[in-house]
Structure 1
């Protein structure tokens, strides 16, 4: 090879090199099974679904309280039941709702939930499910201890 085949300096070699176009760059980058717009749509759909679940849980709580107040006003036996078993009739449904909202808010703020410990590992849909069970049991235990 002749010395004139090589560029005199490194900057000259960079300037002389052809720049890749976007199609070449996209071919070189491995894909996770979808285009960028499909992945953005998936993330957007997940966020929207989570916020809809929180909104639905809030609406459920509001409807529950309004219907409970109306029933208590119109049916005297419900008052007795609610007084005697308040933790079971009101506390546990709201504990389930609180655990759901807690898991969703944690997932929104920190990403997917993965639980590892004592020889087991939960990923995907199993992580939030196990986290909900732990949260619900903790809240229900607190209700039992404090009631």
Structure 2
């Protein structure tokens, strides 16, 4: 039952984030003309749009891993001889995921 609730919690977080993305897109479309959005996309769109999506993606990865590890214990891992547990585990994992996504955006944006 706890595993099912973890999946439901992860789905709720992901759907909330996706709803906020759609809402932000509608606000941007309302406040700006489509021509401005197309100009941004053709210029440096991979930086303007992909960096916030990278942050959201990193949050989703950490949230799903946090829910799968169970609500009784926090996410923890060992890397390079250091042990990350407690609040440092999810924070460090988010930073690593975000930096890897940003570096992939930079590589693919060239």
What TM-score, normalized to structure 2? 0.74
Tell me, yes or no, if structure 1 residue 145 matches structure 2 residue 107. yes
- Bigger CA radius of gyration: 1
* TM-aligned CA deviation for residue 121 of structure 1: 1.5
2:10 and 2:47 mapped to 1: Cα distance? Answer: 27
Tell me, yes or no, if structure 1 residue 124 matches structure 2 residue 86. yes
Tell me, yes or no, if structure 1 residue 94 matches structure 2 residue 25. no
Residue matched to 2:17: 57
* TM-aligned CA deviation for residue 102 of structure 1: 1.1
Could you list the per-position Cα deviations for residues 37-74 of structure 1 after superposition, in whole angstroms to 9, with x for gaps in the alignment? Answer: xxxxxx8xx958755533331221111222233345x2
| Number of residue-to-residue matches in the alignment | 102
Residue matched to 1:34: none
2:91 and 2:9 mapped to 1: Cα distance? Answer: 16
What TM-score, normalized to structure 1? 0.58
Answer yes or no: is the 8 Å Cα contact 1:71–1:78 preserved in 2. Answer: no
Residue matched to 2:65: 106
1:62 and 1:99 mapped to 2: Cα distance? Answer: 18
Q: What is the RMSD of the two structures over their aligned residues, measured on CA atoms?
A: 2.5
* TM-aligned CA deviation for residue 101 of structure 1: 0.7
2:75 and 2:15 mapped to 1: Cα distance? Answer: 21
Which structure 2 residue ranges, 5 or more long, are not aligned?
none
* TM-aligned CA deviation for residue 130 of structure 1: 0.7
